[in-house]
Structure 1
Amino acid sequence: MSYAMIRHFRRTTLLCEQMRVESTLTNVTQEEFLFRPPVPQWSKVIREAEKIVGYPTSFMNLRWLLSDEFANLAMHLRKIVGSNHPIMKTAKTVLYNEHNNLQPWGLIILLLSKAVSSSTYSVENTTLMERQRMLAELTEMIRTGHYIHKGLLNIPLEERDKTKETSIFANKIAVLIGDYLLVTANGMLARLRNQDLSYLISTALRDLSEGEFFGPRDKQNMPLPGKPVKTNEDYFKINGDTIPLDVKDTLGSPVKEWTLRTMYNGGSLFGRGCEGAMLLGGKSDSDQKKAYLFGCHLCLAWQAASELQKFTSTNKEAFSLVSAPALFALNSSPDMYESLKSVTNVSSLDFDDLKKRIMETDAMEQTKSLFSLHAEKAKSYIEMFGDNQSVSTIKSLIKTV
């Protein structure tokens, strides 16, 4: 490693340490953006998985962390340490927390690639593994870039005075960092020189963008739940089509709304990443579709498990109003929705009281059933790729609760 790279790494590490010690986190609650599923003995499972793929995925982000461009942006972040801008919480999540840096999405894509690849050494196999590794990395970078872009504060023109200068500056840094990651990811995608893969990833980017305009929002663009509706069919069908996701009759229907939001918020991207690994490996259309469905259902299972953990945890923290437990509770208690429908700023809510009201319903049991449904579907799809060590490790990662 060159002296310049070491210097950049130290500068970024210093920033992370400052954020750990000094930052005051914002109360703004984004849609839950899953970085790490609540897997028991997570570190042990990850170490076993990394032995299989032969690649320490906890270092997959070094290519951009050690670049001149990112090092310069990271230094600008130091100017806003101590503020309550969402970018500080985002930066801590991405850069500092070692558990989140284990990057489970990229690891799953690499394990899936390993499960269907030939064990015979050849130049072709080595090249394929490198291409699939690039796909895993760029998928993680797109996810991270999108997450950073979601952490912007909306500041009305009439309020943009000197008291808001720090927040305005932080917004600019968030835009630049997110743009840098997305542009770098697109550059890596272009270097793979596969038009079909580019098309798949572009459909995921479309879904990420469309998700930002779905459903009601507060003044900070935080998602608000749709008005509860009673329906006999509360199921969102996921298929491998690349057409836009079907939004018809989803708002207010707990399972449909939650599933669509999760697909928008990363499920589609994860699924396309898994599908792309099969595409690069020259697998059949059938295998590609199975990989996509596996990725989607695994993401949905992890999301449900993560939301369950947040509600059962003793930590007093805000939660998303469009999480599965919240949507199930609102559907069973319409009066609860009446108190939320006119909310203009999510951060002003009494989350402790709202959590108690949600826990009094059967929302947790319904969310557990939702997790079980998608966990079983993910398991059934991954078992279609054989019985080997990679598949067994993935199955252990599915068991999150």
Structure 2
Amino acid sequence: MLSRSLKAIPRHRYQKSLIFINKRYSSTFATAIETAEKLVQPKTSASSPLDPFAMVSAEMATLGKHISQLIGSGHPVLNRVASYYFEAEGKNVRPLIVLLLSKALSKIPINERNRIIIDQYDVNTQKEFKGTPKAFSFAGADPLKSISPLNILHGINPNIILNPLSRPMIDQDEKSIQLDIKNGILPKQRRLAEITEMIHTASLLHDDVIDFSDSRRGRESGNIAFSNKMAILAGDFLLGRASVSLGRLRNSEVVELMSTAIANLVEGEFMQLKNTVINPDLTTINNDGQLKKIPLPTGKVPVKVHEYSINGTSNIISHNDNVEAAFQYYLHKTYLKTASLMSKSSRSTAILAGCNEELIENCYQFGRNLGLCFQIVDDMLDYTTTAELLGKPAGADLKLGLATAPVLFAWKDKPELAPLIARKFSQNGDVEIAKIAVDETNGVQKTLELAIKYRDDALNNLRVLPESSARSALELLTNSIITRNK
């Protein structure tokens, strides 16, 4: 079933899946669509030739192992908390996108990938390729090796019996290196996939504390299993170790992109906490259901008013303008919280491959559109599926006071929902009224149509890539986002 194709393949099936790696399959848009339709049928095997996970099953199999080596804490409890979410079976969509995109980009001839210097270490060849200055990419630089001496990085001799808390990162095994060469995935791209998942997982640890979540990936969330403090600290530690690995890619453009993605996650969370379109009051915040006055600025540091803030009263702004502003705010927040990491890691993948500007831009737009589609579907599932399927609480958005696409569509047809949205559905009966309004206005169906629009845009972005089984797998993955139920 399609829902199974969005989970990592069980360990006992990895070897079986590898038989597809060296085969070539014709790749057309029609083939990908046909395969996607077949995959939603109950009798379909998860190891379809175009199944995204089957195509890079070996790389996905070692993802958790390599990340555990990157975490490298010498403190057993910190190690335990930081690796907690990697133990459970997650979607792993973000590293999957990077790996499949890397494989698809490898079909572009090397002489057409000359935007940066692609060094001998990257492509395992003696040829030298000219590109932009070496400041962007250090030729011959191993992404596993430190730039500064280890005794400087760790503040202690790493060879003495007292191990530093942040241990040196362990080299990839020879089998993984040879597999990368065979599949056309550059070592730096594989590392980028691991970094992307580390950043995402750190955000989950933080989000579950903020949202008071009690489950994640089918079991207790990190904040419940350990504590709020440990979950926050483990998330911070993951971001720190991801930043170290990011620096070792030795590509300043990629470092800038991925560092911005980390900042975007925080910006998006703030936009969600304080919706300045629905409630333009910038002097108070909602603190666990109670309004709290925030300190006024002293003037020593300029504080810019958010561009989405609406000055004035509701009687001089039309209802349609209010709804449109709320949708723009929602989509911007969705980009920052979800699509930014997908889009910037996709762009970084193309940069590391040395692709031209057109390909880099389309890879970025692909990640952006796919990310928006993914989150919009996630918001829709909050209204349509169960906690057992989601692996996290269902129906949580309204309870958290979040006005996502389904209720925004309902608001467009029912202006009377404005006070409920403004007070974040905090009064008794608000959540139930909002759910009924969503049903009466077909808010879920309209949300699905919005997700399909971004799905179609993402598929169009993929058309610039050369035809390959990897591109077909990306097309299939893109289609599967719409039909997933978890």
TM-score band, normalised by shorter chain = 0.5 to 0.7
Structure 1 residues not aligned, in runs of 5+: 1-38, 78-89, 156-165, 234-248
2:80 is aligned with 1:72: no
What is the distance in 1 between the residues matched to 2:348 and 2:47?
Answer: 27
Give the 5 Å matches for 1:145-160: 145-152=202-209
Q: 1:323 aligns with which of 359, 380, 404?
A: 404
Contact 1:117 1:281 in 2 (8 A): yes
Closer/same/farther in 2, CA of residues 275 and 151 from structure 1, 3 Å limit: same
Structure 2 residues not aligned, in runs of 5+: 1-38, 110-121, 126-179, 213-222, 276-284, 291-307, 388-392
2:259 is aligned with 1:259: no
The CA deviation string for residues 153-177 of structure 1, in whole angstroms up to 9 with x for no partner, is 599xxxxxxxxxx98x822101211
Closer/same/farther in 2, CA of residues 380 and 230 from structure 1, 3 Å limit: farther
Closer/same/farther in 2, CA of residues 280 and 134 from structure 1, 3 Å limit: same
Q: Match for residue 172 of structure 1? A: 229
Closer/same/farther in 2, CA of residues 262 and 280 from structure 1, 3 Å limit: same
Q: Match for residue 123 of structure 1? A: 124
Q: Match for residue 297 of structure 1? A: 369
* Counterpart code for 1:385: L
* Counterpart code for 2:350: M
Contact 2:403 2:421 in 1 (8 A): no
What's the CA shift for 1:128? 5.9
Closer/same/farther in 2, CA of residues 151 and 360 from structure 1, 3 Å limit: same
Moved more, 385-394 or 334-343: 334-343
Closer/same/farther in 2, CA of residues 135 and 330 from structure 1, 3 Å limit: same
Closer/same/farther in 2, CA of residues 143 and 349 from structure 1, 3 Å limit: farther
* Counterpart code for 1:329: A
Q: Match for residue 389 of structure 1? A: 469
The CA deviation string for residues 14-58 of structure 1, in whole angstroms up to 9 with x for no partner, is xxxxxxxxxxxxxxxxxxxxxxxxx94795469932443363415
Closer/same/farther in 2, CA of residues 328 and 117 from structure 1, 3 Å limit: same
Closer/same/farther in 2, CA of residues 311 and 318 from structure 1, 3 Å limit: closer
TM-score using structure 2 length: 0.57
Moved more, 66-75 or 350-359: 66-75
* Counterpart code for 2:364: Y
How many percent identity over aligned positions? 24
CA RMSD of aligned residues (A): 3.9
Contact 2:49 2:55 in 1 (8 A): no
Q: 1:63 aligns with which of 59, 62, 66?
A: 66
Give the 5 Å matches for 1:2-401: 40=40, 44=47, 48-53=51-56, 55-65=58-68, 67-69=72-74, 71-73=76-78, 94-95=85-86, 97-98=88-89, 100=90, 102-118=91-107, 123-124=124-125, 126=181, 129-152=186-209, 170-214=227-271, 215-216=274-275, 218-220=286-288, 230=318, 253-313=325-385, 317-320=394-397, 321-343=402-424, 351-399=431-479, 400-401=482-483
What's the CA shift for 1:212? 2.7
The CA deviation string for residues 98-142 of structure 1, in whole angstroms up to 9 with x for no partner, is 2x2x40111111111111104999515839611101111101111
| Counterpart secondary structure, 2:445 | helix
What is the distance in 2 between the residues matched to 1:221 and 1:275?
Answer: 40
Closer/same/farther in 2, CA of residues 376 and 153 from structure 1, 3 Å limit: closer
What is the distance in 1 between the residues matched to 2:248 and 2:267?
Answer: 26
Contact 1:105 1:136 in 2 (8 A): yes
What's the CA shift for 1:290? 0.6
What's the CA shift for 1:294? 0.4
What's the CA shift for 1:147? 2.1
What is the distance in 1 between the residues matched to 2:45 and 2:441?
Answer: 30
What is the distance in 2 between the residues matched to 1:42 and 1:317?
Answer: 28
> How many residue pairs get matched?
318
